[in-house]
Structure 1
Amino acid sequence: MSDMKTAILDAAEKRIQAGGFGGFSFREIAEDVGIKSSSVHYHFPTKEDLAAEVVRRWADRTSGNIDREFAKDPNAKRVWAKALRGTAFSKAHMCPCTILGASSQDLPKAVAAEVKRFFKMCQDKMVAQGMSADDASEFLSTIIGALVVANALRDSAEYDRATATFRVEEKTAA
């Protein structure tokens, strides 16, 4: 992927995290990156194409991070809670899929499909890591809800309060 395409995706990701699908324009992305709007269109013909690629990239990156962490720690709930904690404590405070998921009924089809793919990937991985389908659904709802509440209250510590029981380190037998 070209450096310019990556810069455009990075700028769009930040804008989506702050304002959802309606929270950015190609003109704003171009200004963020320091290029002309037509250059954004060169890489991504439509806003839908750009937003779908942001979500796809986020999902793929999250999937890889979860796989790497799960290889080190077999406690799936702890791995997932810690992974999304990084988002809660990041500058953006939100996962773009969470922001877009709340409005997925109003998104263009390609973007909504990528958001759905992200959440389905999360549930499928959780089940593959040993959770029942019901437990995976409940747990995913808990950690995503914790992100939303922490963001709404503008207090990242809310995420820690909501997920503390999942993030507790296993005690080693002495």
Structure 2
Amino acid sequence: MSDVAAAIMDAAERRMRRGGFNGFSFREIAADVGVKSSSVHYHFPTKEDLAAAVIKRYTAETAELIERELGKESNPIKVWVKAFRGTLHSQDRMCPCAVLGASSQDLPPEVAAEVKRFFKMCHDKLVEEGLPPDEASQLLSTITGALVVANAVNDFSVYDNATREFTKSKKPAPMKAAARRLK
């Protein structure tokens, strides 16, 4: 991927974190990056192509981050809570998939498919780490919901309070974590 394409994706991701799919235009992205709108179209022919590429990259980056953190921490619940807490404390404060997921019924099919793939990846990784499917769904719902509410009320403690209680009531999945360390 070229530096320009990566910069375009970065700008689009920042704008999607704040305003969703309708929160950006190619003209705005071009201005953010310092290129002509035609350059954005060259790399990503349509807005749908750009948004889908951003979410696909975000999914891969999140999967890599989780794998790296699971190498350091054996409790997958703590890893996921910490990862989404990091998002809350980042400059843009929202997971682009949480923003887009809220309006997934109105997204173009290729973008909705990538958002669905992100959440499926999250759920599947939690199950692989030993959480029962229902608990994986509950954790994913808790951390994404707490992220949204904390942003809506502009109070980070909402996230910490919601996830603290969740992690207190859940036990780590030591068998999967131990197997990971043996690899």
TM-score range for the pair, normalised by the shorter chain length: over 0.9
Q: Which runs of 5+ in 1 are unaligned?
A: none
Q: Percent identity?
A: 63
Q: Give the gaps of 5 or more residues in structure 2.
A: 172-183
For residues 17-58 of structure 1, what are the alpha-carbon distances to aligned partners after superposition, in whole Å with 9 as ceiling and x for unaligned?
010000000000000001100000000000000000111111
| Structure 1 length-normalised TM | 0.94
Residue 74 of structure 1 deviates from its aligned partner by 1.2
Q: What CA RMSD, in Å, does the superposition of the two structures yield over aligned residues?
A: 1.3
- How far the C-alpha of 1:167 sits from its partner, in A, is 5.9
| Structure 1 segment 117-132 matched on structure 2, within 5 A | 117-132=117-132
- SS of equivalent residue, structure 1 residue 97: helix
Shift of 1:157: 2.4
User: What displacement does 1:75 show?
Assistant: 0.3
Aligned counterpart, 1:100: 100
Which residue does the alignment assign to 1:57?
A: 57
Runs of 4 or more consecutive aligned structure 1 residues displaced over 3 Å after TM superposition: 165-168
- Would you say the 8 A contact 2:17–2:92 is kept in 1? yes
3-state SS, counterpart of residue 94 of structure 2: coil
Q: How many residues align?
A: 169
Using the TM superposition, give the Cα deviation of residue 165 of structure 1 relative to its aligned residue in structure 2, in angstroms. Answer: 3.7
C-alpha change, 1:57 and 1:2, in structure 2 (3 Å) is same
- Residues 66 and 79, structure 1, Cα contact 8 Å, conserved in 2: yes
Amino acid at match of 1:117: R
Once residues 165 and 142 of structure 2 are traced to their aligned partners in structure 1, the CA distance between those partners, rounded to angstroms, is 12
Distance 1:70 1:26 in 2: 37
TM-score, normalised to structure 2, is 0.89
Aligned position for 1:161? 161
Q: Contact 1:66 / 1:83 at 8 angstroms: preserved in 2?
A: yes
Contact 2:139 2:166 in 1 (8 A): no
